[in-house]
């Protein structure tokens, strides 16, 4: 609308200038006519005046001046007309520019709408990928908890040949773990420790967001503690993004200070709490004995008694001062 007003003002201004020029020309012509008429009137109505040589009613200079004035008026009129035409051309040019700008704006808006639509598709795709990633992380956390349980029951061991037979097989099914040191044995409550450790890991796994590794404790239960060593493991998702999950590196069983267990003596072994507890377990249960190098003799006594009761056994020798530890990458024990 502002450009329309400007074009109207240009046309009106040009027309006013042209009318001014025409009015000037008419005024000059009227003045010339009045001058000529005045001189003729004086010559006609003054008979007493002495006769003089006749002079032209209009002098040559007046004609030349009138010609100049007329020519100037013509030039002014031509200039006004040229200005008017120039204004019209500028107006047409402005209209063309306005149309070009309008077309550009329409094209830009269409392109912007397309980009907005494409952005909406990308956001939906990103939401779907995030949902899939969250599901995968939940599944990985569940697998990590299962790994903790499995690792607690599958520590790395060395095979000790059985007294009654040289044959051995990998431990499977239920398992009882016994610590034998200084001639004394104690049952390790591995099931209860593993269950408590798994609960504590779920509560503390968030600490791996700012650390590379953490330790989670369970117990004490029946004189033992379980320490689970967790490490943050990185992996690449199917969508190409980097993610992390907790991974159990190892688990360590630690006895409480002063915990000794029951003495292993052949004559009194039948009446110990250890043997009474073993008898409550199914015959398919494997008894794994963690044996320090100062108790190999007692290990033979205990192994022979367990064989008489019909329980398969697995031995795990340990040097003095070494902790009972199982690694996630270890192998299962061998029973005889």
DSSP states of 153-211:
H---------SS-S--EE--S-EEEEEEETTEEEEE-HHHHHHHHHHHHHHHGGGGGT-
More reliable by pLDDT, 17 or 73: 73
Tell me: do 311 and 167 sit in the same domain. Answer: yes
Tell me: do 216 and 313 sit in the same domain. Answer: yes
Q: What is the pLDDT of residues 289-334, one digit of tens each?
A: 888 988 888 898 888 888 888 888 888 888 888 888 877 655 444 4
pTM: 0.44
Does the residue 33 lie in any domain?
yes
Q: What's residue 17's pLDDT? A: 63
Does the residue 54 lie in any domain?
yes
Q: What percent of the chain has pLDDT over 70?
A: 72
More reliable by pLDDT, 73 or 35: 73
Q: What is the pLDDT of residues 134-192, one digit of tens each?
A: 888 888 888 877 777 766 655 555 555 445 543 444 555 678 898 888 888 888 888 88
Q: What's residue 152's pLDDT? A: 62
More reliable by pLDDT, 201 or 286: 286
Q: What's residue 175's pLDDT? A: 85
Does the residue 173 lie in any domain?
yes
Contact criterion met (CB below 8 Å) for 217 and 227:
yes
Tell me: do 108 and 169 sit in the same domain. Answer: no
CB atoms within 10 A of CB 237: 13
pLDDT confidence tier of residue 201, bands split at 50, 70 and 90: confident
What does the pLDDT average to over 43-62?
Answer: 55
3 state SS of 274: helix
CB atoms within 10 A of CB 165: 9
pLDDT confidence tier of residue 89, bands split at 50, 70 and 90: confident
Does the residue 126 lie in any domain?
no
Q: What's residue 155's pLDDT? A: 53
More reliable by pLDDT, 114 or 242: 114
Q: What's residue 192's pLDDT? A: 86
Domain containing 198 equals 154-335
pLDDT at 60 over 50: yes
Tell me: do 175 and 233 sit in the same domain. Answer: yes
pLDDT at 26 over 50: yes
Q: How many domains does the chain have?
A: 2
* SS3 of 73-138: HHHHHHHHHHHHHHHHHHHHHHHHHHHHHHHHHHHHHHHHHHHHHHHHHHHHHHHHHHHHHHHHHH
Contact criterion met (CB below 8 Å) for 254 and 323:
yes
List, in order, residues 6 or more apart from 109 with CB less than 8 Å away: none
Tell me: do 192 and 237 sit in the same domain. Answer: yes
Task: Return the minimum-mean-pLDDT range out of 13-17, 78-82, 141-145, 281-285.
Answer: 13-17
More reliable by pLDDT, 145 or 10: 145
Task: Return the minimum-mean-pLDDT range out of 1-10, 226-235, 273-282.
Answer: 1-10
The residue whose two tokens read 């097989």 is 169
Tell me: do 228 and 323 sit in the same domain. Answer: yes
3 state SS of 39: helix
Q: What's residue 167's pLDDT? A: 42
Q: Is 24 exposed, middle or buried (0-12, 13-18, 19+ CB in 10 A)?
A: middle
pLDDT at 261 over 70: yes
Q: Which DSSP helix (H) or strand (E) runs through 1? A: none
What does the pLDDT average to over 107-136?
Answer: 80
Domain end among 98, 120, 142: 120
pLDDT confidence tier of residue 53, bands split at 50, 70 and 90: very low
Task: Return the minimum-mean-pLDDT range out of 93-97, 153-157, 246-250.
Answer: 153-157
Tell me: do 165 and 115 sit in the same domain. Answer: no
Does the residue 60 lie in any domain?
yes
What does the pLDDT average to over 193-214?
Answer: 76
Cα(312)–Cα(164) distance, rounded to whole angstroms?
Answer: 11
Q: Which DSSP helix (H) or strand (E) runs through 262? A: strand 262-263
Tell me: do 95 and 196 sit in the same domain. Answer: no
Q: What's residue 328's pLDDT? A: 65
Contact criterion met (CB below 8 Å) for 228 and 202:
no
Does the residue 137 lie in any domain?
no
Q: What percent of the chain has pLDDT over 90?
A: 0
More reliable by pLDDT, 265 or 112: 265
pLDDT at 31 over 80: no
Q: Is 320 exposed, middle or buried (0-12, 13-18, 19+ CB in 10 A)?
A: exposed
């Amino acid at each position: 609308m502002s450009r329309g007003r400007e074009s109207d003002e240009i046309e009106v201004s040009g027309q006013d200038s042209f009318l001014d020029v025409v009015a000037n020309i008419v005024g000059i012509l009227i003045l010339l006519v009045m001058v000529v008429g005045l001189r003729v009137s004086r010559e006609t109505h003054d008979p007493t005046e002495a006769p003089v040589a006749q002079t032209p009613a209009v002098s040559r200079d007046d004609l030349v001046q009138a010609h100049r004035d007329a020519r100037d008026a013509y030039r002014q009129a031509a200039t006004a007309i040229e200005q008017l035409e120039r204004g019209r051309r500028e107006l047409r040019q402005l209209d063309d520019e306005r149309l070009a700008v309008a077309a550009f704006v329409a094209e830009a808006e269409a392109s912007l709408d397309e980009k907005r639509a494409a952005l909406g598709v990308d956001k939906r795709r990103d939401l779907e990928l995030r949902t899939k990633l969250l599901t995968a992380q939940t599944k990985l956390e569940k697998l990590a908890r299962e790994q903790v349980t499995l690792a607690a029951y599958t520590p790395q061991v060395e095979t000790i040949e059985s007294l009654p037979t040289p044959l051995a097989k990998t431990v499977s099914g239920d398992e009882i773990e016994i610590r034998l040191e200084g001639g004394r044995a104690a049952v390790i409550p591995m099931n209860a420790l593993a269950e408590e450790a798994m609960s504590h890991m779920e509560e503390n796994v968030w600490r791996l967001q700012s650390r590379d590794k953490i330790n989670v404790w369970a117990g004490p239960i029946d004189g033992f503690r379980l320490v689970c060593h967790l490490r943050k493991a990185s992996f690449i998702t199917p969508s190409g993004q980097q993610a992390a999950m907790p991974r159990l590196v190892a688990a360590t069983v630690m006895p409480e200070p002063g915990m000794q267990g029951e003495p292993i003596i052949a004559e009194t072994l039948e009446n110990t709490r250890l043997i009474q507890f073993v008898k409550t377990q199914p015959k398919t249960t494997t008894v794994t004995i963690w044996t320090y190098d100062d108790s190999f003799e007692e290990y033979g006594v205990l192994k022979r008694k367990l064989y008489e009761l019909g329980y398969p056994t697995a031995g795990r020798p340990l040097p003095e001062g070494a902790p009972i530890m199982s690694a996630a990458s270890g192998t299962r024990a061998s029973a005889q």
